[in-house]
Amino acid sequence: MINSLKYLRSEIDQTVLASLGIIIIVGLVTLYSADHNQSNQFISQIVNIVLGLIGLFVLSQTNPRVIFSYIPFIFIISIMLLIWVKFFGLESNGAQRWIDIGIIKFQPSEIIKFTAPLMLAWFYQKNEHNINISSHGIALMILSVPFYLILTQPDLGTALMISFSAFAIIFTAGLPRKLLIGGSFTLLIASPFIWHALEKYQQARILSLIDPFQDALGSGYQTIQSLIALGSGGMIGKGWMNSSQTQLNFLPEATTDFIFAVFSEEFGFIGVLAIMMVYIIFFMRLSFMASRMQDTFSRLATLGLIVSIFSGVIVNLGMISGLLPIVGAPLPFFSYGGTSMVVSLVSIGIIMSLYSHKSLIAN
Amino acid sequence: MQRNQLRFVIAKRQSIVVGLFFVLLFLIIIKFFLVQVVQHNYFEKKSVNNSIKLIPIAPSRGLIVDRNNKVLAVNKLIYNIEIDPNKKHDFDNIKTHLRSIIPISDADVEQYHRITKENYYSSTVPIKSNLSQHQVASFLARQYLVDQVSLVPRLERFYPFNEYSSHVVGYINRINKDDMDKLRRMDRLQLYKGTDHIGKTGVELMYENSIHGFPGFKKIEVDAKGNVIRTIESQEPEHGQTIQLTIDIDLQKIAIEAFQDQSGALIAMNPNNGEILAYVSQPDFNPNLFINGIDHKNWNKLNNDKSKPLLDRVIHGVYPPGSTLKPFVAMAALENNLRKPPYKMFDPGYFTMPNGSKTFRDWKREGHGEVDLVKALAVSCDTFFYSLGLELGIIKINNTLSNFGFGKVTGVDLLNEKKGLLANEEWKKNKKNKRWFAGETVITAIGQGYTQVTPIQLASATTKIAVFNGDNQPHLKLGRFLPLSKNAEKKEMSTSTDLMHYIRKGMEDVTAPGGTAAFLANDRYKIAAKTGTAQVFGLKGGEYIEDDLPDHLKDHALLIAYAPANRPQLVIAVVVEHGGSGGTTAGPIAKKVFDYYLKNYNND
């Protein structure tokens, strides 16, 4: 009993917390500039952060066994929320993504980004003695439920992102190399059919990557304005609150998906490099923590959560720098958005818990 | 799979996955570097283009006023409904909707299409011009029904005197492709940002650069929706200068009305300073028709009219001078010490060439009897000039005529003035590849033959008789005048006052009893004049001369005159096409102009 108390009063990793703090504060500073319409997003983001940090601290002190036992439950809850959003969700920009329960509004698709990898990790942990082809098949089936629900919202970006973390887990859990190669090959063959299955606007967004100026006022508009923001920021940037692209509303979604374009315009490539370094330190520390874990669940869950956050970073930055098509993807810890912020912080709390209790759950 | 084996696989693949993501992040950082550092200048420009717009503010066109400040060209504030043809629009749909608000005629539609077709420059094109107050109100009330059109206030050129000012003031029209090429060559295209019109003829063309002014600009910052956030800097346009002309529009009206339905030209000048007081070319046209591009119907009417209303006869019309050339030929004689009074000769009514090859008849079959140089001018004796011409030779005649300004532009401040023609041996060789006959010199001396003059040359030459060595370069812009071309450089007349005295006496006697324009005599002031009848066909003396002139240019009545004879204040040159003989048609027109101009003159 005394022993377990000692374990429970676990420490929170300094490196992760410090880098997280820097990212969040810089994000807030940028949000203040981006939210020039004074719609109080700054205040509400602080509330999101506080809520998220509380979640982080609470979960970091929670016994991983408790967390583990609740995973199927919260996964089913998040699936039900996705079904709910399908029928009763709020529509925004042509997609049903939001649930409004009076005092708060949230996006179940952001929640599933974290519950799906946890669920897969849970599944592999349960079957760790008997992992074979059929268990990978079951894992794929578990993934297919939220994937389908999100794809039909429609939100291709998030659907792909949960697939990244899910595939990362399935791959790490020992997917045979033959299957991997066979799967990739099948995907390649299937790509023309997938292309046809895409909505017109999705096709246009992908095409506009090749030449955004083809349809400068249509599908290419967001990419162009984002590139102009980045490019005109140059090496040292235009200075805080001084971004013409943002202040004059040329940049779309300046506080959410495109907030890093605002940052790039105001603080330049030097600022971008600095933040990238912080993200790199953050992910390297998390990866190190993952590598020190002992059990299957901890390793797979941590990896899944890292990939989930990391792919958020990659997709968002790829999108604003014109490398990837425009999909609705916030920059983790940086973009305005309650669900994403709270859930990301909570999942860091889970990793902390898994890390500080690694020897406890090793056996 | 064994648990330990699984652990090993997980550890290995974990690093592969995370490593892959770090590689992706590294690629993204490279992309940021490319966009932010390598392509910085490109995007910097794009960013400025996004938000900074330069709006030209067109200057308003300078006015044109006459010498008494009567406005000949003014700018009128009108309201147009305009469409931006460069933006996607459904014209038929706009037309239908607009018609439910205000009447749009087929002519409006035609004008819109015509301007759009020729529109190389302006941003918006009127679909309906010059709305009434009522129409403005009803459009504003129901504007929401029609997208893509806007109510645009414009300053539109207006010529209050209509036809009366047409040839001298000229007109403006919309800038077309040729104008743009011209402006580009002159490096003035920038100055026409926001301007739709440019001077095409007359003073509007001549003084375009001063009348146009300099555009201002407004540098503004706009947001993504095009809302103006702030004005960064602005500069007011420098409006066009007002051009004051030497013209007296009331005098010009008198002259025009004196022509009645006849075609021709009249130019009235102050011989003391070269100011042009009346500038008439008949028939004329309404310059207001041209401002937004003349419609086909009116254009065909004006362009196909046989009487050529669009031709500015004052500087572009060339006529054989007829007997109005005699005073200048007489001057040529005196300058060469020939026929100086009291020299007299007997006129039998004809002149035979010394070799007997040809006989040239006087207009008066029985002849004028004893004739000296003064009388020869007064009665317009042909015989006197036939022998004189032969004796002088074409070179000496042309030399003096050239000193009076014939055969070259007068340098009046208008563009594309015609030079007329002083024919000689060389000219005939080049042009017709025929040799020059002595008989051609003979008829040149009485103003027939190849010699061609413009009305303004006649007037300008007459001022040199009326006032000796005066600064009488003809001009239209009031104030100091600089000659336009080297051709127009003032050449000191070598003639002495004594010699000119005989010419003046001769011209004074034209209006004396027995003179060819005796009917011009009046109590108040003395007119000195010379009449002329320009026959191109059926020349006196019968020598047939092939000529380029079309048939309908024959038998023009001409008159040059100045008054008061003792102290000349006004010189007039008149040509009345098909006006019959001498001063009978041209004379009364000149008389009316003199009467009006000298109405306060007392013969003391």
Domain map of chain B by residue range? 3-38, 53-70+161-244, 76-159, 249-597
Separation in Å, CA of A101 to nearest CA in chain B: 34
In this predicted structure, what is the pLDDT of residue B551? 43
Sign of the four-CA dihedral A227, A229, A230, A233: positive
Kindly indicate the confidence band of residue B187, based on its pLDDT and cuts at 50, 70 and 90.
confident
Name the CATH superfamily housing domain B249-597: DD-peptidase/beta-lactamase superfamily (3.40.710.10)
Q: How many angstroms separate the CA atoms of B105 and B85, rounded? A: 19
Tens-digit pLDDT profile for residues B91-141: 888 888 888 888 888 888 888 888 877 666 566 888 888 888 888 888 888
Topology at the third CATH level for domain B53-70+161-244? Penicillin-binding protein 2a (Domain 2) (3.90.1310)
Tens-digit pLDDT profile for residues B298-318: 888 888 888 889 999 999 999
Would you say B468 and B236 are in contact if contact means Cβ atoms under 8 Å apart? no
Q: How many angstroms separate the CA atoms of A198 and B558, rounded? A: 88
Would you say B73 and B63 are in contact if contact means Cβ atoms under 8 Å apart? yes
Name the closest residue on chain A to residue B31, using Cα atoms.
A321
Q: Where are the domains of chain A?
A: 10-356
Mutant choice from B8, B17, B37 vs A, greatest count of A C-beta within 10 A: B17
Mutant choice from A126, A131, A248 vs B, greatest count of B C-beta within 10 A: A248
Tens-digit pLDDT profile for residues B11-24: 888 889 999 999 99
For A296, which of B10, B15, B48 is closest by C-beta distance?
B10
Q: How many angstroms separate the CA atoms of A266 and A243, rounded? A: 6
Is the CB of A311 less than 8 angstroms away from the CB of B21? yes
Q: How many angstroms separate the CA atoms of B82 and B84, rounded? A: 7
| DSSP track, B302-342 | HHH-TT-TT--HHHH--B--GGGGHHHHHHHHHHTT-S-TT
In this predicted structure, what is the pLDDT of residue B172? 92
For B214, phi then psi, to 5°, come to -120, 130
| DSSP-derived secondary structure letter, B437 | P
Q: How many angstroms separate the CA atoms of A29 and A333, rounded? A: 12
Tens-digit pLDDT profile for residues A138-165: 888 999 999 998 888 878 888 888 898 8
Tens-digit pLDDT profile for residues B403-455: 999 999 998 999 889 999 998 888 888 888 888 888 889 989 998 888 999 99
Average pLDDT value for residue range A101-112: 78
Would you say A139 and A120 are in contact if contact means Cβ atoms under 8 Å apart? yes
pLDDT at B485 over 80: no
In this predicted structure, what is the pLDDT of residue A86? 83
Separation in Å, CA of B149 to nearest CA in chain A: 21
What is the SS3 assignment for B100? coil
Is the CB of A314 less than 8 angstroms away from the CB of B21? yes
Would you say A305 and A290 are in contact if contact means Cβ atoms under 8 Å apart? no
For B67, phi then psi, to 5°, come to -65, -20
For B40, which of A225, A234, A318 is closest by C-beta distance?
A234
Contacts of A4 (CB under 8 A, 6+ apart): A63, A360
CB atoms within 10 A of CB B207: 22
Separation in Å, CA of B167 to nearest CA in chain A: 51
Which residues in chain A touch residue B13, judged by CB atoms under 8 angstroms apart? 171-172, 174
> If you count them, how many residues does chain A have?
363
Residues of B at the A interface, defined by Cβ within 8 angstroms: 1, 3, 6-7, 9-11, 13-18, 21-22, 24-25, 27-29, 31-33, 35-37, 39-40, 42-44, 46-48, 50-51, 221-225, 229
Q: How many angstroms separate the CA atoms of A124 and A236, rounded? A: 48
In angstroms, the Cα distances linking B29 to A314, A317, A323 are: 10, 9, 11
CB atoms within 10 A of CB B141: 10
In this predicted structure, what is the pLDDT of residue A93? 63
More confident residue, A216 or A177: A177
Q: How many angstroms separate the CA atoms of A56 and B379, rounded? A: 124
Q: How many angstroms separate the CA atoms of A342 and A358, rounded? A: 24
Would you say A259 and A286 are in contact if contact means Cβ atoms under 8 Å apart? no
Omega of the bond prior to B283 within 30 degrees of 0, cis?
yes
Contacts of B357 (CB under 8 A, 6+ apart): B439
Contacts of B136 (CB under 8 A, 6+ apart): B79, B151
Range in B105-119, B241-255, B474-488, B538-552 with the lowest mean pLDDT: B538-552
Name the closest residue on chain B to residue A169, using Cα atoms.
B14
Separation in Å, CA of B161 to nearest CA in chain A: 51
* Residue for token pair 């019959």: B580
Q: How many angstroms separate the CA atoms of B84 and B80, rounded? A: 13
For A168, which of B17, B27, B36 is closest by C-beta distance?
B17
In this predicted structure, what is the pLDDT of residue B195? 85
Kindly indicate the confidence band of residue A195, based on its pLDDT and cuts at 50, 70 and 90.
confident
Helix or strand holding residue A103 (H, E): none
Kindly indicate the confidence band of residue B498, based on its pLDDT and cuts at 50, 70 and 90.
confident
Which residues in chain B touch residue A269, judged by CB atoms under 8 angstroms apart? 32-33, 36-37
More confident residue, B25 or B111: B25
Q: How many angstroms separate the CA atoms of B191 and B212, rounded? A: 9
Q: How many angstroms separate the CA atoms of A44 and A26, rounded? A: 16
Is the CB of B36 less than 8 angstroms away from the CB of A269? yes
More confident residue, B541 or A94: A94
Give the active site residues of B.
Answer: 323
pLDDT at A172 over 70: yes
Helix or strand holding residue A213 (H, E): none
Average pLDDT value for residue range B459-470: 86
For A174, which of B1, B15, B39 is closest by C-beta distance?
B1
Residue of B396, B400, B397, B560 lying closest to B491 (CA atoms): B400
pLDDT at A7 over 70: no
What token pair was written down for B33?
A: 């570097």
Range in A90-99, A194-203, A313-322, B206-215 with the lowest mean pLDDT: A90-99
Q: How many angstroms separate the CA atoms of A26 and A28, rounded? A: 5
For B229, which of A225, A248, A321 is closest by C-beta distance?
A248
pTM tops 0.80, yes or no: no
For chains A and B, what is the number of CB pairs under 8 angstroms?
147
Separation in Å, CA of B6 to nearest CA in chain A: 7
In this predicted structure, what is the pLDDT of residue B54? 79
In this predicted structure, what is the pLDDT of residue B4? 72
Helix or strand holding residue A114 (H, E): helix A108-126
For A250, which of B6, B7, B50 is closest by C-beta distance?
B50
pLDDT at B525 over 70: yes
Q: How many angstroms separate the CA atoms of A56 and A345, rounded? A: 5
Tens-digit pLDDT profile for residues B56-73: 888 999 999 999 999 999
Which residues in chain A touch residue B18, judged by CB atoms under 8 angstroms apart? 283, 287, 290, 303, 306-307, 310
Kindly indicate the confidence band of residue A2, based on its pLDDT and cuts at 50, 70 and 90.
very low
In this predicted structure, what is the pLDDT of residue B122? 60
What token pair was written down for A348?
A: 């860091």
Q: How many angstroms separate the CA atoms of B476 and B204, rounded? A: 12
Which residues in chain A touch residue B40, judged by CB atoms under 8 angstroms apart? 231-232, 234-235
Q: How many angstroms separate the CA atoms of A264 and A334, rounded? A: 13
Average pLDDT value for residue range A45-71: 92
pLDDT at B143 over 60: yes
Mutant choice from B18, B34, B225, B227 vs A, greatest count of A C-beta within 10 A: B18
Kindly indicate the confidence band of residue A343, based on its pLDDT and cuts at 50, 70 and 90.
very high
Which residues in chain B touch residue A234, judged by CB atoms under 8 angstroms apart? 36-37, 40, 44
What token pair was written down for A11?
A: 């420490």
pLDDT at B160 over 90: yes
| DSSP track, B438-497 | HHHHHHHTTT-TT-BB-HHHHHHHHHHHHSTT-----BSBSS----SSGGG--------H
What percent of chain A clears pLDDT 70, i.e. is strictly above it? 89
In this predicted structure, what is the pLDDT of residue B540? 36
Which residues in chain B touch residue A280, judged by CB atoms under 8 angstroms apart? 22, 25
Mutant choice from B9, B36, B49 vs A, greatest count of A C-beta within 10 A: B36
In this predicted structure, what is the pLDDT of residue B438? 87
In this predicted structure, what is the pLDDT of residue A100? 73
In this predicted structure, what is the pLDDT of residue B486? 42
More confident residue, B147 or B207: B207
Mutant choice from B41, B47, B49 vs A, greatest count of A C-beta within 10 A: B47
Average pLDDT value for residue range A326-336: 89
More confident residue, A291 or A93: A291
Q: How many angstroms separate the CA atoms of B314 and B266, rounded? A: 7
Which residues in chain A touch residue B87, judged by CB atoms under 8 angstroms apart? none
In this predicted structure, what is the pLDDT of residue B482? 52
Is the CB of B221 less than 8 angstroms away from the CB of A248? yes
Helix or strand holding residue A146 (H, E): helix A133-151
In this predicted structure, what is the pLDDT of residue B470? 65
- Helices B326-335 and B394-403 cross at an angle (nearest 10°) of 110
Tens-digit pLDDT profile for residues B562-601: 989 989 999 999 999 887 765 778 889 999 999 999 987 6
Which residues in chain A touch residue B50, judged by CB atoms under 8 angstroms apart? 225, 228, 244-245, 248, 250
- Start-to-end C-alpha separation, chain A: 17
